[in-house]
Amino acid sequence: MNKTFWEKIKPHVFAIAIFLVISCFYCLPALKGLVVNQHDMVGAKGMAQQSIDFKEKHGYYPLWTNSMFGGMPAFQILVEDKNHISVSMLSYAINFLPQPANLFFIACVCFYILGCTLNFKFWIRIFGALAYAFSSYNVILVQVGHITKFAAMGYAPAVIAGVILLIQRRYWLGLAVSVIFWTLFIGQNHMQIVYYFLLILLCIGVAYLIKTFKTKEFKHLFLCAILIAGSAILGFLANSVITFTTYEYAKETMRGGRSELATTANDNNKTKGGLDKDYAFMWSYGVGETMTFVLPAYNGGGSGPAELGENSKAVEAMQNASLPNEAINYFYQYMSSYWGNQPSTSGPVYLGAIICILFIAGLVFVRSWHIGWIIAATIVGIVLGWGSNFSSINYFLFDHLPMYNKFRAPSMAMIIPQFTFCLLAAMALQEMFYGNLDKQVFFKKLKLTGVITGAVVLVLIVTYFSSDFMGTRDKQVNELISGSLAQMYSQGKAPSPQVSQQATQVAKSISNGLVEDRKGLYGKDLLRLIVLVAIFAAIIWLVYQKRIKTEYALIAIVLLSFIDQVNVDLRYLNSDHFVTSDDFLGSFALNRADTQIKQDTGYFRVFDQTAGSPFEDSRASYYFNSVGGYHPAKLALYQDLIENQLSKGNMHVYNMLNTKYFIMSNPADRQPIAQQNPGALGPVWFVKDIQYVNNANEEMKALDSLNTADSAVVDKREQAKITFKPQFDSAASIKLVKNLNDEITYSSKSSANQFAVFSEIYYPLGWHAYIDGKEAPIVKTDYALRGLAVPAGEHTIQFSFKPKSYSLASTLSLVVGLISFVIIGLCIWFEMRRNKHIA
């Protein structure tokens, strides 16, 4: 008997309702109008504010921003493409919940789609979806503000689903799913996540190729490859405003290895066309740290003292030493539950105890062709995640794997096992509960699973008793505390040996207390793991003995797994992390320095020295054009300027960047004040002389002592653009008329030929200069600025930013978006006809 339409969709409606309720309940404060207090989103707000203000005034987002690093393409911060209809409409159809509830919901739905594709039973689909969406890494991404990363991860399982549907010969449905979710996946503009899932697809492709050699179905393989590649290309092209401009911009950034400076530093650290290895591999997951998959506190948790709790032994040690509260609060900020090798972390990659047990079961029970690519992808993800801790492999891959050297933070590769563990765990449940295995075979496999699981638990128990729970930075913190205590006990005098010894003993007691705290965290999680293993084993045994129905057992496992994960998730994202919008923007509240500077309506830049790291902080960019800023992919020439000049305090370079105000802390009350720099050279000036040098190194070296007000330094490769030598004219003038980010106008007047230096960052991909409407070549000047040979007379000079990549991509996204909708519509129509014919 044919099912009615409602009977067919009822399980999916029920599943969506479950995901909706759980996502909303976990993120309940978001439904009340609160937002997560995310550090990186605060940074993004500072980055984007100038573009937002510009649109309010002029009706469109500019393609260039002056707010950070002297200027950079704004489409790397905020991009607007009115032709981007396919992505916009699909995104609006899915993102109807407030953030971050929408992210968890999307991840659940997309993994559920994959579960449907693989014909999992209903509760197994629910199990896999919740496990994938609520893995601790996703929660941590929300807490720190890596929204696009989580969004891309959310859509990825549906991309895999589309691929598998095509492999299953469901061509129309597979193509529709692929086009839709490739478009959404790429649209999140997180290419590192895309790269990792492309590696998963490569593993799938190799595994299916091996299978095809056995079945000889090469025609089908070829058709699948064409459809998969075609849908991926459509996804990239539909997002061409993102992909084209990012690809073009990357060539000029530190990620593209663009710096022209030759260095004698360790050549093993340098990578041609990519990031330096020391920078790229800074966040590498420890080999042993991988055990956080099953035990979240294996290396303590997140950096900082948040997880130490109210009964911290380290705090107790400070109190027993009769330290004043001020000292305790000061030292407490240096306490960290984390004791792994990463510089810092917001929390562990915890996949869940039940997930890990079932992953082991999957290795034993599952025998489909999928097991090959799942194991391969898991190994690839873990090895890549180890980064510099497995440098013999990863340094080679970094140098030779296409495009891989553009990315940093190898620990991010742990998203691959996050996906594969959840998928194989679901497959294991499917095989264990519905595989129709012989009872004797089932028990044999179950016994092997138990032995492996027991061995893992035994290793964790041994680690509890044998580990010293000390991290690589503990010695440094201990020395800091000891030194501070010695100064405090000496009351400003030179510490005596007795005082130094006393300080060392107190510092050691605090360190011992911290070790006890970490061991306590580990012990609690270990005990919890043992209890979860016991409960799970009991459920499986009851099913094996047929004392509980399969469906009830599955529901119990879903609940057990979800409660386990959420219990850990709440350590890193709970109601305390939500604040009002006003509190979220509190760091941008006007201070005394802001008020001072805002009285100046001219065109200038500021340098905020009160920021912890001026070149990693965008607060000043919220209000002003800044020499500093925050962006993960700075222009390489500006990064060179930071490292070689700005970080060394070269005032001539600050002057040439038109740094009119320095924000600093007032010694009297430690509040920010603005100090005006009388040496700032303004938006543009004429120089008396040009020094030509042979290469980029000489150009940078010349800036060490160059008086940028009178002279300019130019690489000889640019010399052909300057057709005359400037002549001094005391009456010559050049001034800024208006600056609309993408369009800048100046006026000049002189009786002799001049060379003008503009305090604007040189960027060769899109900027054009015109003198009285006639294009003139822009000269790369003073390593990072723009220069222009200006003939005698009165002239109007214009700079216009019109990157070809953006205009081409905008048109292309419209065309491809329309094509994608036609393809999706046709696929749905043919699929409905197919189903009707089958019925």
**Domain locations in the chain?**
684-802
Instruction: Using pLDDT thresholds of 50, 70 and 90, give the confidence band for residue 488.
Output: confident
Is residue 614 pLDDT above 90, yes or no?
no
Residue pair 813/789 in contact by the 8 Å Cβ criterion: no
Strands 605-608 and 659-665: parallel
CA distance 525 to 533: 12
- pLDDT tens digit string along 753-797? 999 999 999 999 999 999 999 999 999 999 999 999 999 999 999
User: How would you class 399 by CB atoms within 10 Å of its CB: exposed for 0-12, middle for 13-18, buried for 19 or more?
Assistant: middle
CA distance 808 to 248: 12
**Residue with structure tokens 């594709």?**
117
Residue pair 147/100 in contact by the 8 Å Cβ criterion: yes
Average pLDDT across the chain, whole number: 91
For 226-241, what is the mean pLDDT? 93
- pLDDT tens digit string along 164-221? 999 999 999 999 999 999 999 998 889 999 999 999 999 999 999 999 999 999 999 9
Q: What is the pLDDT of residue 1?
A: 45
Residue pair 735/746 in contact by the 8 Å Cβ criterion: yes
Residue pair 839/2 in contact by the 8 Å Cβ criterion: yes
Residue pair 9/555 in contact by the 8 Å Cβ criterion: no
CA distance 83 to 237: 12
Overall pTM > 0.75: yes
- pLDDT tens digit string along 528-545? 999 999 999 999 999 988
Residues 6+ apart with CB under 8 A from 576: none
Is residue 739 pLDDT above 80, yes or no?
yes
The proportion of the chain whose per-residue pLDDT surpasses 90, expressed as a percent, equals 72
Q: What is the pLDDT of residue 271?
A: 65
CB atoms within 10 A of CB 45: 20
Q: Give me the sign of the Cα torsion angle 349, 352, 356, 359.
A: negative
Strands (E), 68-174: 72-73
What is Dmax (Cα atoms) for the chain?
101
More confident residue, 729 or 131: 131
**Phi/psi class of residue 523: alpha, beta or left (left: φ > 0; alpha: ψ in -120 to 50)?**
alpha
More confident residue, 813 or 255: 813
More confident residue, 317 or 89: 317
For 273-283, what is the mean pLDDT? 86
Strands (E), 31-102: 35-36, 64-65, 72-73
Instruction: Using pLDDT thresholds of 50, 70 and 90, give the confidence band for residue 241.
Output: confident
Lowest mean per-residue pLDDT among 94-108, 250-264, 678-692, 804-818: 250-264
Instruction: Using pLDDT thresholds of 50, 70 and 90, give the confidence band for residue 94.
Output: low
For the stretch 535-541, contacts whose Cβ atoms lie closer than 8 Å and that sit 24 or more positions apart, written own/partner, are 535/560, 536/353, 536/354, 536/357, 536/560, 537/450, 540/432, 540/446
Q: What is the pLDDT of residue 173?
A: 94
Q: Is the peptide bond before 100 cis (omega within 30 degrees of 0)?
A: yes
CA distance 19 to 838: 31
Look up residue 374 and give its amino acid: I
Q: First-to-last CA distance in the chain?
A: 10
